[in-house]
A and B are shown apart, each in its own frame.
Chain A
Amino acid sequence: MALKYSQKVIDHFTKPQNVGEIADADAVATEGSPACGDMIKYSLKINPETKVVEDIKFLSFGCASNIATASMMTLLAKGKTIDEIKKMKHRELTESLDGLPAVKMHCSVLAVDALKSALKKWEIEHGFAVEEKEVLDRKNVWKALTDCLNPRTGVSVVHAKLINKLEVEPGEGSVFVEVMLCELDDMFAEALEEEIHEKIEALPGVEKVLVQFKPCIHCVE
């Protein structure tokens, strides 16, 4: 099965917009991990009066859709205020590229999240926000899991109701996640496990993450 990208994805991949780094950037963020082969670095100029993103550039280590989503993200962000960007969902980015294959949907999550984290850093530095001390609790783990997509459907494991059990022990820094996986998704178990690890381990104080798969209830009978 060859991957079918939309013409817009191809266009942004072959002629990416706003590539590079801004030398005297006001905000910089690198998100993703080279081990996952998926990484974006944004640098931005932000007007402190208006909170408008006046310039933005990106660098990428990733596949065609990683490059295309980052490129499109820079176009969407330029000229917008921080508050406008903070409301953006990865679906909007995907739609502006005329869609992505389900297996590549996680690229748009990364493109949006990386930008939001650059903005957050800037807001904290400029006194527009206080640094919330992220804690290891159920709520934050749940939030992290919302960013983990099932590669077959492109839908988050939370929204698809695949999380069967979640145990968080903040004192010990341990997290246990039980994910229901349909037989069809067996081939993605390894990738999904890695993604869940990566997203949860980014939270502070995490010592041990255990991910277990359980055959989905519809497949058992």
Chain B
Amino acid sequence: MIYFDNNDTTPLHPDVLEAMLPYFKDRFANPSSLHSLGLDADTAVDEARGSIAEAINADPKELIFTSGATESNNLAILGSAQTRPSRRHLIISAIEHTSVLNVAKRLEKEGYRVTRLPVDGQGYINPDALSNAIDDDTFIVSIVHGNHEIGVIQDLKVLSEIAHEKGAWFHTDAAQSLGKIPFNVTELGIDLASFNAHKLHGPKGIGGLYYGNKTRPKRLMEGAPQEHDMRPGTENVPGIIGFAEAVKIAVRDQAENTVYLKTLISRLAEGLSEIPHTLLNGPPPEERLPGNLNVTMLYIEGEAILMHLSMREICVSSGSACSSKSLTPSSVLTSIGLIHEEAHGAIRFSLSRFNTIDEVETVITKTKEVVELLRSMTAFVPELHSERMGAKSFYRKR
């Protein structure tokens, strides 16, 4: 099986599993217990918190553990709205994760103003658009760091400065970027940041939220005062240990992984660009999150491509409407200007350090085979259906 769906989730790193195992067995105690076993678990959680905080240049007092980035995004935005009730405006981008998009929808229903910043043809936000949208009523600006579908990386430093000029807090969903590219809360001017473990070879069901000491959201759940009294419930100790180990390994090997994945992705992009009528979605490979590639194979549909690849033991994902739960094409792809016909043929290949160049070669060969097969039976006649659908170059303009 070739697994090219690492922006969705990743396999556990063997060392992460090793680090976690004792906390399922002998070191199982509740960190809130006062006995020695409890103290042992509490110390382990403290160390894990310290180690992740250090990796992002934060104080351990400013980091809590959650169930993942979805919960962190909810807590960051909904909780900040409660901390700052006098401000009633929220700014996000058009290419946020569903959890941010839907939190914005909820606040909108409650009477908040929401601005969704547009992106250009490669997925970049124009800082001027933020300057124009922001005002004294904006309580938070929430912009994804590395996008999960097209791998575009935003310049958070510039954007956070604009947010701060108007006294807005700056939140980022860093679920895809943590451990893959440098992430330093001080350098980037971040007030709040959401993380998870399972995108970087850690376990599922564990993530974190960074918040500054002056930008503390109100808790959303009531219970005992765990996690700095912001997130009640007995800590997921094995998950926390696994998360910290995954971050440690990712940061330690970051430079090496980046170089390695660059080689794999540039070969994959080169191979796929040989397929006629194929377009790259998002920025050029060297500007993207390491390991991410997204292409549209025109005149055929993504779910059919995905299913054929799956039968050939290759796992990828698609931005097509037919493969989405809501039957609508990926809003990230339509936001960068793809028409529906183009979004339907979009396939995301996302690689990790555990993939190999041989796998890349196999995927290129098999993708060519599948595209040829499906195109041989397509009812799509480009000249008839859209004037936009002609031969185009692989790379997209900004």
Q: Map CB proximity to A onto B211-235 as digits: 1 under 8 Å, 0 otherwise.
A: 0000000000000000000000000
| CB-based contact B377/A20 at 8 Å | yes
| CB-based contact A187/B326 at 8 Å | yes
B325: A residues at CB distance < 8 A: 1, 103, 187
**Which of B300, B327, B339 is the one whose CB lies under 8 Å from A191?**
B327
State A20–B378 Cα separation when bound (angstroms): 9
Once A61-B379, A191-B321 are accepted as A-B contacts, the answer to whether A36 and B307 lie under 8 Å apart by CB is no
Once A35-B340, A36-B321, A151-B327 are accepted as A-B contacts, the answer to whether A41 and B379 lie under 8 Å apart by CB is yes
Once A19-B377, A60-B379, A188-B326 are accepted as A-B contacts, the answer to whether A35 and B303 lie under 8 Å apart by CB is no
Once A and B bind, how many residue pairs between them come within 8 Å at the CB atom?
82
**Which of A16, A30, A62 is the one whose CB lies under 8 Å from B322?**
A62
State A114–B263 Cα separation when bound (angstroms): 47
**Which of B301, B308, B327, B329 is the one whose CB lies under 8 Å from A62?**
B301
B340: A residues at CB distance < 8 A: 34-37
In the complex, how many residues of chain B place their beta carbon closer than 8 angstroms to a beta carbon of chain A?
Answer: 29
Once A36-B340, A103-B327, A191-B328 are accepted as A-B contacts, the answer to whether A61 and B378 lie under 8 Å apart by CB is yes
Tell me which residues from 18 to 51 in chain A have a Cβ below 8 Å from any Cβ of chain B: 19-20, 30, 34-41
Closest chain A residue, CB of each to CB of B389: A34
A94 within 8 A of B: no
B385 within 8 A of A: yes
State A16–B329 Cα separation when bound (angstroms): 25
| CB-based contact B327/A188 at 8 Å | yes
State A201–B302 Cα separation when bound (angstroms): 26
| CB-based contact B378/A59 at 8 Å | yes
| CB-based contact A37/B379 at 8 Å | no
| CB-based contact A35/B377 at 8 Å | no
A190 within 8 A of B: yes
A63 within 8 A of B: yes
| CB-based contact A34/B377 at 8 Å | no
Closest chain B residue, CB of each to CB of A39: B379
Once A34-B385, A37-B340 are accepted as A-B contacts, the answer to whether A191 and B326 lie under 8 Å apart by CB is yes
Closest chain A residue, CB of each to CB of B385: A34
State A176–B332 Cα separation when bound (angstroms): 30
A164 within 8 A of B: no
A64 within 8 A of B: yes
B365 within 8 A of A: no
State A24–B311 Cα separation when bound (angstroms): 35
Once A37-B344, A151-B327, A190-B328 are accepted as A-B contacts, the answer to whether A67 and B380 lie under 8 Å apart by CB is no
Q: Map CB proximity to B onto A172-209 as digits: 1 under 8 Å, 0 otherwise.
A: 00000000000000011011001000000000000000
| CB-based contact B320/A37 at 8 Å | yes
State A14–B373 Cα separation when bound (angstroms): 10
Q: Map CB proximity to A onto B288-331 as digits: 1 under 8 Å, 0 otherwise.
A: 00000000000111111001100100000000111101111100
Q: What's the least CB distance linking A155 to chain B, in Å?
A: 15
Closest chain A residue, CB of each to CB of B382: A34
State A73–B398 Cα separation when bound (angstroms): 44
B327: A residues at CB distance < 8 A: 103, 151, 188, 191
**Which of B299, B304, B326, B378 is the one whose CB lies under 8 Å from A13?**
B304
Once A37-B322, A37-B344 are accepted as A-B contacts, the answer to whether A64 and B378 lie under 8 Å apart by CB is no
Q: Which B residues fall within an 8 A CB radius of A?
A: 299-304, 307-308, 311, 320-323, 325-329, 339-341, 344, 376-380, 385-386
List 21 A-B pairs, Cβ < 8 Å.
A14-B308, A19-B376, A30-B379, A34-B341, A34-B344, A34-B380, A36-B340, A37-B301, A37-B340, A37-B341, A58-B379, A59-B377, A60-B379, A61-B299, A61-B378, A62-B322, A63-B303, A64-B304, A103-B327, A187-B325, A188-B326
Q: Which A residues fall within an 8 A CB radius of B?
A: 1, 13-14, 16, 19-20, 30, 34-41, 58-64, 66-67, 103-104, 151, 187-188, 190-191, 194
10 interchain residue pairs of minimum CB distance: A63-B322, A191-B327, A59-B379, A63-B303, A37-B344, A41-B379, A61-B380, A35-B340, A187-B326, A34-B385
